């Protein structure tokens, strides 16, 4: 199979390196891989291609590749690779991200529960104050609700279970095997569960059914000690309502990796909101990113 590889990206770890592609080629010697640097080269090579590994693929390009069997992208989101209008060519999205993002989530939870925010501030002030840590808590025994229990949610659940949390997944279709979570419940039970949990984790896609799923009413139901984490898409949280809830101390902390507008504007009130930690859509950035994707492709597609 002749496979085109066109993966330029402004994030260095998202741009394929020759040694990474060499390892994939060694693992799949029956296929040939052609690395392309520019869009024009990629489009010109499509007529002979049988598969393509890309960050972006425009809908008109499918007609230029009559031999294409599938187009694969490491991205989990559906924004940049358009489906084939004819339905002839399969579109394959990566689902390895949870291996990285689960560790990011765990780091966020440990940051709050072990009060590393105090550690950083006290080091800046040259303050040695052990009594500041009397409110730290073990994660073991706490309850996490994962909203959006797909491949990413399951991988997050695996790590959280390993450190002793009770984990409930929330999913539109709850008739699935809950493992590794303790249970999976339907989305209609969200408001019922919010007062019962210590951590609310969002790993949702950006479809319209998830717009402001966590709004003012939902935030009011949460415990004052509870924390929110959004690792999915920014439309799932009402940001204005979150600012109010954090400023008033209605919830303990929030971690946002995604936002309603990206990049996050420099004048956004989120930057100065107390008890809010911000990542620049970076929870899946890792030196191993494309290595993990290539391993997935070799095992499942090639």
pLDDT for the residue 88: 98
The set of residues, in sequence order, having a beta carbon less than 8 Å from that of 122 and lying 6+ positions away, is 128, 129, 132
Query: What whole-number distance in Å separates Cα of residue 189 and Cα of residue 175?
Result: 14
pLDDT exceeding 90 applies to what percent of the chain? 96
CB-based contact 43:14 (threshold 8 Å): no
Query: What whole-number distance in Å separates Cα of residue 117 and Cα of residue 124?
Result: 11
Q: What are 41's two structure tokens?
A: 């080269």
Our answer to whether residue 121 is catalytic in this structure is no
Can you tell me the mean pLDDT for 289-295?
98
The set of residues, in sequence order, having a beta carbon less than 8 Å from that of 19 and lying 6+ positions away, is none
Can you tell me the mean pLDDT for 216-244?
97
Pairing of strands 166-171, 143-147: parallel
Pairing of strands 32-35, 90-93: unpaired
pLDDT at 141 over 80: yes
Q: What are 155's two structure tokens?
A: 């991988």
Query: E strands along the chain, which residues?
Result: 2-6, 32-35, 51-54, 70-73, 90-93, 143-147, 166-171, 183-186, 199-202, 227-230, 253-256, 276-278
Pairing of strands 2-6, 32-35: parallel
Our answer to whether residue 261 is catalytic in this structure is no
pLDDT for the residue 53: 98
Fold of 2-95+287-300: Rossmann fold (3.40.50)
Catalytic residue among 188, 262, 288, 300: 262
Catalytic residue among 233, 239, 250, 296: 233
Average pLDDT score over the chain: 96
Strands of the sheet containing 276-278, edge to edge, are: 183-186, 166-171, 143-147, 199-202, 227-230, 253-256, 276-278
pLDDT at 272 over 70: yes
pLDDT at 207 over 80: no
Our answer to whether residue 38 is catalytic in this structure is no
User: Which residue, 285, 274, 166, is CA-closest to 231?
Assistant: 285
Which CATH superfamily includes the segment(s) 98-278?
A: NAD(P)-binding Rossmann-like Domain (3.40.50.720)
pLDDT for the residue 115: 93
The set of residues, in sequence order, having a beta carbon less than 8 Å from that of 152 and lying 6+ positions away, is 76, 95, 97, 98, 101, 102, 203, 231, 232
Catalytic residue among 93, 122, 281, 295: 281
What is the four-CA torsion angle of 148, 153, 157, 158, rounded to 10 degrees? Answer: 160
Same CATH topology for 2-95+287-300 and 98-278: the answer is yes
pLDDT for the residue 78: 86
Tell me: the pLDDT tens digits for 7-64?
Answer: 999 999 999 999 999 999 999 999 999 999 999 999 999 999 999 999 999 999 999 9
Query: What whole-number distance in Å separates Cα of residue 92 and Cα of residue 82?
Result: 11
CB-based contact 69:87 (threshold 8 Å): no
Residue-wise DSSP of 4-51: EEE---SSGGGSPPHHHHHHHHHH-TTSEEEE--SHHHHHHHGGG-SE
Domain ranges of the chain: 2-95+287-300, 98-278
Query: E strands along 36-104, which residues?
Result: 51-54, 70-73, 90-93
Tell me: the pLDDT tens digits for 142-161?
Answer: 999 999 999 999 999 999 99
pLDDT at 249 over 90: yes
pLDDT at 214 over 70: yes
pLDDT band at 208 (very low <50, low <70, confident <90, very high): low
Can you tell me the mean pLDDT for 274-301?
97
CB-based contact 91:44 (threshold 8 Å): no
pLDDT band at 113 (very low <50, low <70, confident <90, very high): very high
User: Which residue, 50, 57, 14, 47, is CA-closest to 33?
Assistant: 50
pLDDT for the residue 128: 97
- 43 to each of 32, 46, 86, how far by Cα in Å? 17, 5, 18
pLDDT at 206 over 90: no
Tell me: the pLDDT tens digits for 52-101?
Answer: 999 999 999 999 999 999 999 999 888 899 999 999 999 999 999 999 99
pLDDT at 129 over 70: yes
């Amino acid at each position: 199979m002749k496979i085109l590889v066109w993966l330029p990206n402004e994030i260095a770890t998202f741009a394929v390196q020759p040694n990474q592609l060499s390892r994939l080629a060694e693992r799949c010697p029956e296929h040939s891989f052609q690395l392309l640097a520019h869009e024009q080269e990629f489009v010109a090579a499509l007529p002979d291609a049988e598969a393509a590994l890309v960050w972006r693929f425009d809908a008109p390009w499918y007609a230029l590749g009559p031999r294409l069997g599938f187009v694969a992208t490491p991205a989990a989101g559906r924004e940049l690779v358009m489906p084939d209008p004819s339905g002839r060519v399969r579109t394959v999205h990566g689902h390895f991200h949870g291996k990285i993002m689960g560790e990011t989530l765990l780091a966020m939870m440990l940051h709050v529960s072990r009060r590393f925010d105090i550690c950083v501030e006290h080091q800046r002030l040259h303050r040695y104050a052990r009594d500041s840590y009397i409110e730290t808590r073990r994660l073991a025994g706490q309850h996490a609700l994962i909203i959006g229990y797909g491949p990413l949610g399951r991988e997050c659940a695996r790590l959280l279970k390993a450190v002793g949390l009770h984990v409930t997944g929330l999913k539109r279709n709850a008739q699935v095997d809950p493992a590794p979570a303790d249970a999976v419940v339907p989305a209609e039970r969200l408001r019922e569960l919010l007062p019962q949990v210590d951590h609310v984790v969002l790993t949702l896609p950006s479809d319209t059914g998830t717009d402001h799923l966590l709004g003012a009413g939902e935030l009011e139901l949460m415990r004052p000690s509870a924390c929110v984490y959004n690792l999915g898409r920014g439309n799932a949280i009402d940001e204005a309502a979150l600012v109010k809830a954090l400023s008033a101390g209605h919830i303990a902390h929030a971690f946002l990796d995604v936002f309603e507008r990206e990049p996050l504007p420099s004048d956004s009130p989120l930057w100065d909101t107390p008890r809010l930690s911000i990542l620049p859509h970076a929870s899946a950035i890792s030196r191993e990113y494309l290595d993990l994707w290539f391993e997935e492709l070799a095992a499942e597609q090639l």
